[in-house]
Structure 1
Amino acid sequence: MLGTQFTTGSPCWIALGSPDTEAAAAFYGSVFGWEFRPAGPGAGGHGFFQQDGRAVGGLGPPAEEGAASAWTVSFHTEDADAARRTAQEAGATVRVPAPDVADAGRMVYLTDPGGADFAVRQPGRLRGLERTSSPNTLVWVELHAADPEGVLGFYRALFGWRWAVMEAPGMTYRVVSTAAGDQRTASFGGVAELQEDPGNPRWIPYIEVGNADATARAVEGAAGRILLPPADIPD
């Protein structure tokens, strides 16, 4: 289960890079009730999504100039520069090397060998997400990859991840856990084979909600789009 006691390789942060941070803050405030708090002078327009004063994500301009709006999932490391070197040796591409985000942490933005963007984050004053696995917070992360087993080998080299194979309707799913602790308890996400465009591998953050249908209506009411309608998944 995803928590806030972060170990190497556990999801510790999600951040939205948006060319229009004001519109993004308004949208997520309307859908999830998140409040946006700017990080202050010198932060380059970055800030924090909060729920009851607790950090549940970040928002700022895209890490790369001209990039489209996108969420980035970050994984915990105690040494961002060492993680960057290990990732490169294992076949990753460095997109943005180790910027310090005010005093909140140190980041490296990477692309894995399968083409999915992610980041590693070394904590600073802010350890990471301050609330998870509760309504309107991060509860799961999922990688869609053309070669799940191949790319999981990369993440094992980088973080020591473990995984268990599970057969789901129409697909093979791999439930991923950190290297430390009971494997089931330490699970935080999954990896699935791309079912559509093989050129679009990606990490997807999942937000827990109390009512998926009501959330879908809130998204449309805030001028968002429904990519897949709400559906029940057996078991």
Structure 2
Amino acid sequence: MPRPVHFEIHATDPERAITFYTAVFEWSFERSGPGPYWLITTGEGPGIDGGLAQREGPIPDPDASVNAFPLTMEVPDLDLMAREVEQAGGRVVAAKRSIAGVGWIAYCRDPEGNLFGMLQPDPSAG
């Protein structure tokens, strides 16, 4: 069965993106290779790591609905993390809603306009 093994974030201002993801998720970034590219370590244990690249095209429309292949992170407290996103310069673009028997999900955009999801597991969600 295919499974995610890497993700990549494209940013017009990589340093701003690094500041955002470090503040919200405590990810670490390490410059890699000759070009503007950073390896992202998301933590220990199960999960995937990724990369951050200099954006080569236009910024996605920040007011568009879900128009990507969003990466979703599991979080222990969705309300708290949504506040963290906003305090770090991002915004919630699809408010918290339930997924029956799974949990609570919300979609956000980082300061670079990239879409991502956050999921708080809760089997009793309806």
SS at match of 1:226: strand
Separation in 2, partners of 1:37, 1:61: 14
One-letter code aligned to 2:59: A
Mapping 1:79-98, distance limit 5 Å = none
Name 1:227's counterpart in structure 2.
93
Change (3 A) 1:229 1:12: same
1:30 maps to 2:23: yes
1:49 maps to 2:40: yes
Name 2:81's counterpart in structure 1.
215
| CA deviation after TM superposition for structure 1 residue 53, in Å | 7.2
Bigger Rg, structure 1 or 2: 1
Change (3 A) 1:53 1:212: closer
Name 2:12's counterpart in structure 1.
19
Separation in 1, partners of 2:94, 2:42: 26
One-letter code aligned to 1:16: I
- For the 8 Å contact 2:5–2:49, the answer to whether it is kept is no
Change (3 A) 1:28 1:68: same
| CA deviation after TM superposition for structure 1 residue 31, in Å | 0.7
Separation in 2, partners of 1:217, 1:53: 24
Name 2:58's counterpart in structure 1.
67
Q: Cα RMSD between the aligned structures?
A: 2.6
One-letter code aligned to 1:218: E
Mapping 1:73-222, distance limit 5 Å = 201-222=67-88
| CA deviation after TM superposition for structure 1 residue 47, in Å | 1.0
Change (3 A) 1:39 1:53: farther
Separation in 1, partners of 2:43, 2:85: 21
| CA deviation after TM superposition for structure 1 residue 212, in Å | 0.7
Separation in 2, partners of 1:230, 1:24: 23
Separation in 2, partners of 1:53, 1:37: 16
- Deviations 1:75-105 (CA, angstroms, capped at 9, x unpaired): xxxxxxxxxxxxxxxxxxxxxxxxxxxxxxx
| CA deviation after TM superposition for structure 1 residue 16, in Å | 0.3
| CA deviation after TM superposition for structure 1 residue 57, in Å | 1.6
Change (3 A) 1:225 1:52: closer
TM-score (norm. length: structure 1): 0.37
Unaligned stretches of 5+ residues in structure 1? 1-6, 70-195
- Deviations 1:133-161 (CA, angstroms, capped at 9, x unpaired): xxxxxxxxxxxxxxxxxxxxxxxxxxxxx
| CA deviation after TM superposition for structure 1 residue 52, in Å | 4.5
| CA deviation after TM superposition for structure 1 residue 220, in Å | 0.6
Separation in 1, partners of 2:67, 2:24: 26
Instruction: Flag as ranges the 4+ runs of structure 1 deviating above 3 A.
Output: 51-55
- For the 8 Å contact 2:24–2:81, the answer to whether it is kept is yes
Report 1 or 2 for greater relative contact order, CA contacts < 8 Å, sequence distance ≥ 6: 2
